[in-house]
Structure 1
């Protein structure tokens, strides 16, 4: 065997193991719905005796009219019975489909809830590594693609294993030779279906990966459309999206070609089996070796014998689609929640904390070099601390540690002497607020956006928070005031107005710890002055950490920490650091010369 053949065989085995692992993950999602699936199967099995009774009555009616020359009156009771069987089978089919739909809907809803809970538990640090478009595609399209797998494929797979056996038990006493023909030809259908379906599975997985990439890329392009327009790159981006769409179209057609071949082979095999039974029964009838009624009865049951197998073949593509869609979801489902230790609500943190102290704080992402290393930091009420430093110095990571989004790998964070790991995440997150450089506002009214941290706050509290954030004047000037509808990301508001709404959230929440990620960046002088005044008011009686990219905002900080490669390189107030004439003073000189400093991290 050549090296190429061995490599291909190894790749094929790995792909097969991967598919088995994905399907095992899909079936694990059945927890809590196995009873519902069993009911769907039981209802489907009830159709078997009705199907047999229908074939039996139909054979009797045709035999009585065509062979025994009976009139309509003689067969009328049988006709009414046949009509009743038709109605009963239709009712069973509707009931079974309804049960399967409800069961699949519950599985999908639970899966979406679990995936969303995973993203939330992993925190912004982990969720931020995933593309927004890929996450949206997974929670919407990928989960929806599993509907037919749970609703149609799994119940049909069980029925395809049971119903042919039930029919064989009826067919063998009537005509054992026809039973042998059906018994021999039946395994050929699933054999060829799986044989052809192996190639389709690989194509389906590739198709879903391409669709996920295309969705994520398109989502990102839409979010950055303004930037693309400004830099004249929209045409180039359009061509990139068109190339991705063309690749997806080719993969889809390849899957459809194999799907049509699989359906053709399945139909050919079942037609061949029915034809063999029909020819055999025809010859026996011709030579007088079989009565007409049992021959017609077996011939009517032959298509019903293959129907569960044909239905499973039609739903087999639902399985392949679900496997392809689940591949990306497994990565989201594998996100580890932030390890906050054994925190509980009985931590003793009852009063507003007066001090937050970090001792020897260190953290590294995925075994890489430490992003934060040996940091000592103390926050006290009314004495804001500022972090400055170049991009990648560890400022955002340090803020994530204080907010509880990450857990330190070395050192400790203590709140009034209580280890942060001993405080319940829910309790701590109720006491903190984060005002990023680009705050996220949601579609809805301005009042609803301010109430984000306190949904039960009354109108008076909302207006008070807006006044403290210097936002009341522009809100009152809007046509609908606090009930003015804004779009996603604060569409309809300026940058300064969005920042003041975000500050109003922090005021309304009455958070003890506030992390400010340069809230006055990229604002006009009037807006910057309003935001700066609101920030000073917010910091008057709170634990405040400011991440500064514009050095003007740190001059009045009680203490300034200069981070360099995760370590504290300098600390002190503005005058002390300027007098030292070291790195901070040089950065201040560069800032004054260029009016630009740092980045988001």
Structure 2
């Protein structure tokens, strides 16, 4: 539906041109039915009032009037449905394209973006585009179609009325634009306040525990309440402008209709005009301004969409730092035997590399520990291996048992961060996040491999035991072993762990280290660690120093 290209309101409008064109055609047909309906009504009233007809004589005309009314309602319903369907499809496609782009940007590129703002853009921002495409664009087209149709009919009936409508009609959008000129700036301010409010609210919720510990929770709530009140005030300012714009429209519309009525009334009294023509013109005059009323009612949708597009365009402009695996990346293939970094230079800013000319190899069934002081590039190396960061120079490649290089081998990685996340739910539900179709035997096997089966079965309800958000109710070592079991449930060929034994007591550390050593058999296993117990299990130690990598085989005796 949506392909990369012109990501502006005009560009998006062209992408659903067929839907909007069909909506305008159907709306134009409904406008023709309206004019015919009013003409039939004027003829019926004239015949009954001035030509001596009785109700029985008007049955045919009434039947035609009802038929035109039903056909017009059907055509207008179809026009609205077509416009809404096109708008919904486009909004869904934009949201999907933006999500894929953010996945390609990756955590590295999104590090400086506020989560609350991104959520607001993906939710309220894209939702703000729907009324623009479903209402504003079709009504803007109908603002041309129906008035021209009415003017043509009025010109055929009476020249003076045509002159009055033709002169007063263009004044309405001109004065609406003058009155609503300030509205766009207010809408931009409102949208920025909404983004800040979303970001502040999410930050407050995430840091609520810390705020309560330091006794600042009430201050944070007060700050969010103040931002919400500012947003309310700005919203009311937008509504004031909208009401003023509607008042301008109603003033000029009423003035024009009154002029038509006065001119026709005087001519009717002088006998220079017939009733049927006068009545039909008076019926058509309000319909001449009806598209303008509808357009005015939806004009705020354009301003809201314009403000929302600023946030959407900002996210689309983020440079891509990661590659989204394609369908071919999920094929099984031969097992991987090694991952190699060849002359790799990587960093986050041009001219300031964190790693320079790195060369190292990680092999299967050989536990590799990456170590080094803080800030030397361990996280950068892991991001390169995970595919979250593209190298400035060199290549990171993986080779299978047949000697074939794989371009999308990152799909075979199992990743355990330093602080793994558990959701509020049962232990089985947390494990099945990695494999929703896993049965109980598979859960038990993965838990046993991670040395988590014994403590799970010791719990009151076993795998059905509820755990809190972020593993509340479990120890740090138990959370780490559950996270390892969850990753092993996918049976990854590459296992990467970041500081898995940090903040653990010695007993918990020994159990986690032993579980990782067992999981490393038959896999490429890479662990970022500083503590001696983990380093002692390494078959290879990769030491980072000043952006350089020093690889060496390792034994327990050397570690001592």
Aligned pairs for 1:73-472 (under 5 A) are: 73-338=56-321, 350-367=333-350, 369-416=352-399, 423-425=406-408, 428-442=409-423, 445-472=426-453
- Deviation, 1:511, is 1.8
SS of corresponding position for 1:204: helix
Confirm or deny: 8 A CA contact 2:87 2:134 kept in the other structure: yes
Against the structure 1 CA distance between its residues 208 and 75, is the aligned structure 2 distance closer, same or farther, given a 3 Å change threshold?
A: same
- Deviation, 1:490, is 4.7
Query: 1: CA distance between counterparts of 2:500 and 2:81?
Result: 53
Query: 2: CA distance between counterparts of 1:102 and 1:393?
Result: 53
- Deviation, 1:64, is 2.9
State the match for 1:586 in structure 2: none
Alignment coverage as a number of residue pairs: 555
TM-score by length of 1: 0.84
Confirm or deny: 8 A CA contact 1:344 1:424 kept in the other structure: no
TM-score by length of 2: 0.90
State the match for 1:56 in structure 2: 39
- Deviation, 1:327, is 1.2
Against the structure 1 CA distance between its residues 526 and 417, is the aligned structure 2 distance closer, same or farther, given a 3 Å change threshold?
A: closer
Confirm or deny: 8 A CA contact 2:367 2:520 kept in the other structure: yes
Q: CA RMSD in A?
A: 3.1
Mean Cα displacement is larger for which, 201-210 or 236-245? 236-245
Confirm or deny: 8 A CA contact 1:118 1:336 kept in the other structure: no
- Deviation, 1:424, is 3.2
Confirm or deny: 8 A CA contact 1:373 1:566 kept in the other structure: yes
Against the structure 1 CA distance between its residues 112 and 46, is the aligned structure 2 distance closer, same or farther, given a 3 Å change threshold?
A: same
Structure 2: which 5+ runs fail to align? none
SS of corresponding position for 2:496: strand
Confirm or deny: 8 A CA contact 1:358 1:375 kept in the other structure: yes
Confirm or deny: 8 A CA contact 2:103 2:324 kept in the other structure: no
State the match for 1:563 in structure 2: 544
- Deviation, 1:342, is 12
Mean Cα displacement is larger for which, 330-339 or 369-378? 330-339
**1:415-448 Cα deviation digits (max 9, x unpaired):** 2399x996332xx133211100122345665434
Query: 2: CA distance between counterparts of 1:202 and 1:577?
Result: 68
State the match for 2:526 in structure 1: 545
**1:193-214 Cα deviation digits (max 9, x unpaired):** 2233332112112211211121
SS of corresponding position for 1:364: strand
Structure 1: which 5+ runs fail to align? 1-21, 580-601
Aligned pairs for 1:578-597 (under 5 A) are: none
Query: 2: CA distance between counterparts of 1:506 and 1:516?
Result: 10
Against the structure 1 CA distance between its residues 442 and 128, is the aligned structure 2 distance closer, same or farther, given a 3 Å change threshold?
A: farther
Confirm or deny: 8 A CA contact 2:30 2:73 kept in the other structure: no
**1:15-47 Cα deviation digits (max 9, x unpaired):** xxxxxxx99712323465321211111111111
Mean Cα displacement is larger for which, 159-168 or 28-37? 28-37
State the match for 1:521 in structure 2: 502
SS of corresponding position for 1:371: strand
Confirm or deny: 8 A CA contact 1:122 1:338 kept in the other structure: yes
